Structure 1
Amino acid sequence: MSLVGTILRNSFGRPKGLLGKIGGRILARTNRKCAAWVVDLLGAEPGERAIEIGFGPGVGLELLASAAPSAKIAGADVSEEMLRQAAARNKAAIENGQIELRLASVENLPFPDQSFDKALSINSLQIWPDPAAGLREVWRVMKPDGRLAFAFTPQSGRGREGLVSIFADSGFSEVRILEGEDGFCVLATKNRSPETCARDKSN
């Protein structure tokens, strides 16, 4: 990996060290408007359980907890630095049991099958080692008819090409891309299985 690539990865991809601390502060500011949009699109209801994949500095968690104060919210991220920043930002909600944070990769989410009604992610999927495997794991922890919203800002570097197919092949349906002021968002619903999708494609 080039020096520039290493700097970007340590600042924004999988933040760590001093660069991660700085990158987290930048992400908290630049992603807030998009996070608010995604939380509004997702519309978490009282009593539901939601998960954010790659929660970064915890802005999305903060906004979701505020929008749905009776919802239970979990977060998974591979960065220890982001875990620290998100924990500090959401200290009260963690202490009262509304938010639970885990240091974990999307390929190995530490939650039982069918745990969540809603899932969200902002500028995360493009850095997953295996997006298809990650989405299958997200599918596993979501309840039937659960809804997800994955957003991408221009800074993510991720284009729209192939996204609908990736989500559809991972067991999600009603997949569509919604355009926003600060990027775009993939909306989808869980009501099939990846195995069913594979059989459908082979017939």
Structure 2
Amino acid sequence: MNINLLKQIPVILRSQPDPRFIAQQLRKPSGDFAKEVGQKMDIVNKPLFDLTLEVLNPNENDRILEIGFGTGKFLEKMFSIEENIDISGIDYSEEMVKLAKQNNPDLLSSDKLDLRKAESDSLPFDDSSFDKVFCNMVIYFWDHPKEHLAEIYRILKPGGAFYTGMREYESMLTFPFVEHGFNLFRVEQWENILVKNGFSLLESRRQQDAPLEIDDMKIQLISCCIAAGKDK
């Protein structure tokens, strides 16, 4: 292939984004596009992260796990609420792990933060290790939620809680790429799945996000956070 054409491929893909390609990148950011995809996810997901953090409400000495931390841009915000916590994070994308480590050198050197490449259906942690586990916009990529929820339940301490950040079903339909490999849930459907997998519902909160403009799209999403507990 002509070398000049190779150089133009990223530009072509940006100007004519393929929904299937976007869906693949959102599932697992990789290659030359990983950083750009991660940064755009940060823009779209910031209101959802803020809502989830508000519901999660870190307490002193909490040990917290984030599943799918992406660029890691928001991790420092958790320590601004409560300094005396320990946070671990896993991400499926090697590129995101590398980027998140670059974005949080001080926290990593302080041993308050541990970031790893791993998958949530096989968590590299001992039983009853965490007070709180959370994820944002991750459940859409779980082809078999039962396996992931069993692992989350296993590593939660008795009385611990799992926080799911997601968007309203109708909000997700705003994006054409959800037709390609996304497992969409209504809030009530996800709540039922949590209960069937041993969790007790604690709280569900919704908010209408401020309008966003990204890639010439104007969108307004509804964010949701569902808190579910592991019985003592």
Shared fold per TM-score greater than 0.5: yes
Alignment RMSD, CA only?
1.8
Matched, 1:7 2:7: no
Query: Where does residue 32 of structure 2 map in the other structure?
Result: 18
Partner of 2:69: 55
Query: Are positions 1:173 and 2:189 aligned together?
Result: no
Distance 1:110 1:175, change over 3 A: same
Give 1:33 shift.
2.2
Q: Give the corresponding residue for 1:196.
A: none
**Alpha-carbon displacement from aligned partner over 1:90-137 (angstroms, at most 9, x marks no partner):** 221111011101100000110000000011110001112311110110
Aligned residue in 1 for 2:187: 160
User: Alignment partner for residue 109 of structure 1, among 123, 132, 150?
Assistant: 123
Q: Secondary structure at the match of 2:102?
A: helix
Q: Deviations over 1:42-62 (max 9, x none)?
A: 011111100001111113422
80-89 or 111-120: which moved more? 80-89
Question: Cα distance, 1:34 vs. partner?
Answer: 1.6
**Relative CO higher for 1 or 2, CA cutoff 8 Å, sep ≥ 6?**
2
Secondary structure of 1:46's match?
coil
Which blocks of at least 5 consecutive residues in structure 1 are unaligned? 193-203
Report the residue type matching 1:139 in the other structure: Y
* Aligned residue type for 2:225: C
TM-score of the aligned structures, taking structure 2 as reference length: 0.76
The amino acid of 1:186's aligned partner reads I
Equivalents in 1 of 2:191, 2:159: separation in Å? Answer: 18
Where in structure 2 are there 5+ consecutive unaligned residues? 1-17, 179-183, 210-222
> Conserved in 2, the CA contact under 8 Å of 1:151 and 1:186?
yes
Question: Structure 1: how far apart are the matches of 2:20 and 2:145?
Answer: 20
Q: Who is 1:190 aligned against?
A: 230
- Code of the aligned partner of 2:193: I
**Matched residue type, 1:54:** G
What percentage of residue pairs aligned between the two structures are identical? 29
Q: How does 1:51-90 map to 2 (within 5 A)?
A: 51-90=65-104
Q: 2:202, 2:228 within 8 Å by CA — same for their partners in 1?
A: yes
Opposite residue 21 of structure 2, the aligned amino acid is: T
TM-score by length of 1: 0.86
The amino acid across from 1:81 in the alignment is E
SS of equivalent residue, structure 2 residue 99: helix
Q: Which moved more, 1:53-62 or 1:182-191?
A: 53-62
Native 8 Å contact 1:65 1:98 kept in 2: no
In the alignment of these two chains, the number of paired residues is 189
Which residue of the partner structure matches residue 45 of structure 1? Answer: 59
Amino acid of the structure 1 residue aligned with 2:224: F
Q: Is the 8 A contact 1:50 1:118 kept in 2?
A: yes
Q: Distance in 2 between matches of 1:78 and 1:48?
A: 24
Relative to structure 1, the CA distance from residue 7 to residue 137 in structure 2 (aligned partners, 3 Å threshold; closer, same or farther) is same
Q: Give, in angstroms, the shift of residue 175 of structure 1.
A: 4.7
Structure 1 residue aligned with 2:41, among 10, 27, 41? 27
